[in-house]
Structure 1
């Protein structure tokens, strides 16, 4: 349940972040794309107006009647005002003399001088974009609103060619562009959220499996160590109840279990030590030391191998090359490193007895005897 809630919160967080980015980014991308579209079309309209002005100037210079020129042009431009961009002509008095909508011929030109100056001097389509967005919220849908975006005076005449934009038609194009952007952002958002959710779930599941594996291994190690200590306690109780020694088979030499003591030295004094009093035996600098439970330490001329061959293998264990330890001396068995064991003894000493990885299995088997 907690994992499902975590995944849910993660998805919600990713969705919220993407939504915020989309709200901010969508407006920027829409405006940038719209400005690029407007810039291309404005340049095209300017070029068309300039070319028409040049053609009309050529016709006037060739003594073609002005009225005939305007009539022919009126016929050509008829009903083209439904297009996004169209051409009209007005005179110096500001009256339209040629327009796609015949009913508007003779009417004064209503142009946005600020917009016209902006497009002429800086080619700033931002002003046109803002105008398109604001005008459509104010005008009725059934009106064809137009704005003059460029003028090209005809030399040696009182006529001016004007490039116009149909605001309503242009607004439809921009609205379609905006809708396309929103659809793209929506699809991207769904993909990002789905892929992010899957990634979070996959990564989370992998991490959980690793944790479960580690916990399982740790639990097994704790169980094994607990069993090892339990076996040690059981073996002690068993030895306390038994009053006789057990005869065990050895793979090496037979044991001399009847031996009760060994001879050791303290300086120049010969000291017999009961085998039952020995906690552990170790060698250091080729000298063999015998340590009793009371902490007394003596030496022996025998090697560690010779000492071990004269001890009962059910009571003493060869922990490593340096130590022989008594079963009665073991206080605790602690896991040490990856697969090693550390033995804590009852003797009043601070020696650390380490059983290697190779000896650990043999040691466990010895405890179970």
Structure 2
């Protein structure tokens, strides 16, 4: 459910992003495309008008009948008003004498809505684009052609006019806008699909990693649970063993081998300031070294010092009751309260009373520690 929500947010975000991009960039791209097209159309129209004016002027200069020239032009431009750019011929009074649509012949350009360019001037693509788009924005229904260039025919009162077909240009603007919108839509969908695929792949990859870590954590928790359970069982067994030893006849206790007595001290000589204090080993919680001083911590939390090193002390203690956690500390079995995982393979011990230093068993000693607890 959470993944579907993420995918929904991503889809909504991409849709909003590409909508904003399309909203601001489409007009720019449409304007740039149409202006380039208009620039080509204007250049082509200017060239055609100049060539027709020059050719007609040469014919008139050769005393060819004016009406014949007009009829020839009419045949040449007939039905060309469906193209983006077409030509017509007007006289100096503004009357149309030749036009692709013969129904417009005889109409005065001053009576039409068309704008006439200045003599032999050339309207720019920017100006033409603004004229056409302004009509679209105003909802002007009177859309036809617009004179963008005129060229006089030598030796006559005739003028060749270049028209731009506004309706065709508007259709081209709409078509170009739709093409860009479709392009942005397709690009957005492809980008969205690609992004969702990448996110799905990454999420699956990290979910697998998370599952593996979860399994490792569960295994570690199970191992620590077994470790703490074994610790409790070991402490109970040790307590029962002590009780059974107390109940043994005095004769049997006297038969204990001397070697065991020598190996495991029953008491440890320590100092509290200048006072000598003998501590039973069963009262020791842990022993640690700090700044070359060896401290002995008892069950009740009281602290004393000793002149012996940890190596000397540990060699004289019962290894079933004490464990050398590291170079700095020796811990008693009955003082261990909990065992937790520390890092990748190390273990951390919490004692009662709480240790003044951190008790960490490195990964090299973790196996022997578990074996010490009879795991």
What TM-score bracket applies, with the shorter chain setting the length?
Answer: 0.7 to 0.9
Q: How far off its partner does 1:296 sit?
A: 5.0
- Distance in 1 between the 2:274 and 2:82 partners? 127
- Distance in 1 between the 2:275 and 2:82 partners? 127
Q: How far off its partner does 1:255 sit?
A: 7.0
- Distance in 1 between the 2:168 and 2:39 partners? 16
- Distance in 2 between the 1:348 and 1:49 partners? 104
Contact 1:111–1:148 at 8 Å: present in 2 too?
no
Partner residue in 1 for 2:281:
275
Partner residue in 2 for 1:250:
none
* Aligned residue runs from structure 1 range 357-368, under 5 A: 357-368=363-374
Is the deviation greater in 231-240 or in 328-337? 328-337
> CA 1:234/1:101 → structure 2, altered by over 3 Å: closer, same or farther?
same
Is residue 2:350 matched to residue 1:341? no
Partner residue in 1 for 2:322:
316
SS in 1 for 2:317: coil
Contact 2:53–2:151 at 8 Å: present in 1 too?
yes
Partner residue in 2 for 1:120:
122
- Distance in 1 between the 2:193 and 2:265 partners? 79
Unaligned runs of 5+ in 2: 246-257
Partner residue in 2 for 1:239:
238
After superposition, give the CA deviation of every residue in 1:207-266 in whole Å (9 maximum; x if it has no partner). 434444444433433333333222222211122222357xxxxxxxx9725756246354
Unaligned runs of 5+ in 1: 246-253
- Distance in 2 between the 1:298 and 1:3 partners? 61
Contact 2:347–2:362 at 8 Å: present in 1 too?
yes
Q: How far off its partner does 1:310 sit?
A: 3.4
- Distance in 2 between the 1:135 and 1:326 partners? 95
- Distance in 2 between the 1:134 and 1:342 partners? 77
- Distance in 2 between the 1:349 and 1:66 partners? 120
* Aligned residue runs from structure 1 range 1-369, under 5 A: 1-109=1-109, 110=111, 112=113, 114=115, 116=117, 120=122, 122-123=124-125, 124-130=127-133, 133=136, 138=141, 145-242=144-241, 243-244=243-244, 256=260, 259=264, 261-262=266-267, 264=269, 266=271, 272-282=278-288, 290-294=296-300, 295=302, 297-299=304-306, 304-347=310-353, 350-368=356-374
> CA 1:135/1:105 → structure 2, altered by over 3 Å: closer, same or farther?
farther
Counting matched residue pairs gives 356
> CA 1:255/1:117 → structure 2, altered by over 3 Å: closer, same or farther?
farther
- Distance in 1 between the 2:32 and 2:131 partners? 13
Is the deviation greater in 338-347 or in 189-198? 338-347
- Distance in 2 between the 1:108 and 1:66 partners? 20
Partner residue in 2 for 1:251:
none
Q: How far off its partner does 1:317 sit?
A: 1.4
Q: How far off its partner does 1:163 sit?
A: 0.9
Q: How far off its partner does 1:160 sit?
A: 0.8
